[in-house]
Amino acid sequence: MVTPLPDGECWCGCGAQTGLGKYFKPGHDRFAEAALVKMRYGGVTGLLIAHGFGPGQENVSEAWGRWRDSSDDNPDAFGEAAAQR
Ligand SMILES: [Zn+2]
Protein backbone atom coordinates (compact mmCIF):
# COMPACT_ATOMS: atom_id res chain seq x y z
CA MET A 1 0.00 0.00 0.00
CA VAL A 2 1.26 3.45 -0.91
CA THR A 3 0.34 6.14 1.59
CA PRO A 4 0.27 9.66 0.18
CA LEU A 5 2.41 12.23 1.96
CA PRO A 6 0.71 14.49 4.51
CA ASP A 7 -0.68 17.59 2.84
CA GLY A 8 -1.04 19.86 5.87
CA GLU A 9 -4.75 19.22 6.39
CA CYS A 10 -6.06 16.79 9.00
CA TRP A 11 -7.11 13.54 7.37
CA CYS A 12 -10.09 13.12 9.70
CA GLY A 13 -11.83 15.70 7.59
CA CYS A 14 -12.22 18.37 10.27
CA GLY A 15 -10.45 20.92 8.10
CA ALA A 16 -7.77 21.80 10.70
CA GLN A 17 -4.20 22.39 9.68
CA THR A 18 -1.67 19.86 10.95
CA GLY A 19 1.97 20.23 11.83
CA LEU A 20 4.71 19.53 9.35
CA GLY A 21 4.72 15.87 8.37
CA LYS A 22 1.56 15.07 10.33
CA TYR A 23 -1.55 13.38 8.96
CA PHE A 24 -3.76 14.23 11.95
CA LYS A 25 -4.27 16.75 14.72
CA PRO A 26 -3.60 15.01 18.04
CA GLY A 27 -6.33 12.44 18.73
CA HIS A 28 -8.08 12.91 15.40
CA ASP A 29 -6.66 9.65 14.06
CA ARG A 30 -8.55 7.87 16.84
CA PHE A 31 -11.75 9.66 15.90
CA ALA A 32 -11.34 8.68 12.23
CA GLU A 33 -10.59 5.07 13.16
CA ALA A 34 -13.57 4.78 15.51
CA ALA A 35 -15.95 6.46 13.09
CA LEU A 36 -14.92 4.19 10.23
CA VAL A 37 -15.15 1.04 12.35
CA LYS A 38 -18.62 2.06 13.55
CA MET A 39 -19.89 2.95 10.07
CA ARG A 40 -18.49 -0.06 8.25
CA TYR A 41 -18.64 -2.78 10.93
CA GLY A 42 -21.05 -1.55 13.61
CA GLY A 43 -18.24 -1.63 16.17
CA VAL A 44 -15.11 -3.51 17.09
CA THR A 45 -16.94 -6.82 17.50
CA GLY A 46 -18.18 -6.61 13.91
CA LEU A 47 -14.71 -5.67 12.74
CA LEU A 48 -13.20 -8.73 14.41
CA ILE A 49 -15.86 -11.08 13.03
CA ALA A 50 -15.49 -9.68 9.52
CA HIS A 51 -11.79 -10.48 9.61
CA GLY A 52 -12.07 -13.95 11.13
CA PHE A 53 -11.29 -13.12 14.75
CA GLY A 54 -13.21 -13.89 17.93
CA PRO A 55 -14.27 -16.93 19.95
CA GLY A 56 -13.84 -20.09 17.89
CA GLN A 57 -11.92 -18.10 15.31
CA GLU A 58 -8.45 -16.63 15.24
CA ASN A 59 -7.24 -15.00 18.48
CA VAL A 60 -6.40 -11.35 17.76
CA SER A 61 -3.99 -11.03 20.69
CA GLU A 62 -2.00 -14.04 19.54
CA ALA A 63 -2.09 -12.87 15.92
CA TRP A 64 -0.83 -9.45 17.03
CA GLY A 65 2.07 -11.03 18.92
CA ARG A 66 3.07 -13.09 15.90
CA TRP A 67 2.79 -10.10 13.58
CA ARG A 68 4.73 -7.82 15.94
CA ASP A 69 7.49 -10.35 16.48
CA SER A 70 7.89 -11.19 12.82
CA SER A 71 7.46 -7.75 11.34
CA ASP A 72 10.61 -5.74 10.97
CA ASP A 73 9.06 -3.21 8.62
CA ASN A 74 6.34 -1.97 10.97
CA PRO A 75 8.11 -0.61 14.06
CA ASP A 76 6.20 2.67 13.77
CA ALA A 77 2.85 0.91 13.74
CA PHE A 78 3.75 -0.96 16.91
CA GLY A 79 5.10 2.13 18.63
CA GLU A 80 2.02 4.13 17.71
CA ALA A 81 -0.38 1.48 18.99
CA ALA A 82 1.61 0.93 22.18
CA ALA A 83 1.88 4.65 22.89
CA GLN A 84 -1.87 5.05 22.77
CA ARG A 85 -2.62 2.36 25.31
ZN1 LIG B 1 -9.09 16.36 12.34
pLDDT at 84 over 90: no
* Whether pLDDT at 83 is above 50: no
53 contacts 60 by C-beta, under 8 angstroms: yes
Q: Are residues 38 and 2 in the same domain?
A: yes
| Claim to verify: residue 56 and residue 79 sit in the same structural domain | yes
pLDDT value at residue 38: 98
Instruction: Quote the domain boundaries for residue 78.
Output: 52-83
Distance 65 CA to ligand 1 centre (A): 30
One domain, residues 36 and 57: no
What are the pLDDT digits (tens) for 54-75? 999 999 999 999 999 998 765 5
Please tell me whether residues 38 and 70 are part of one structural domain: no
Distance from the alpha carbon of residue 31 to the mean position of ligand 1, in angstroms? 8
Residue length of the chain: 85
Instruction: Write down the pLDDT at residue 5.
Output: 94
Q: Please indicate, yes or no, if residue 47 is contained in any of the structural domains.
A: no
Count of domains forming the chain: 2
> Could you tell me if 13 and 32 lie in one domain?
yes
User: Does the pLDDT at position 13 exceed 50?
Assistant: yes
Q: Give residue-wise pLDDT tens across range 15-35.
A: 999 999 999 999 999 999 999
Q: State the DSSP string of 7-46.
A: -SB-TTTT-PBPPTT-SSSTTHHHHHHHHHHHHHHSSHHH
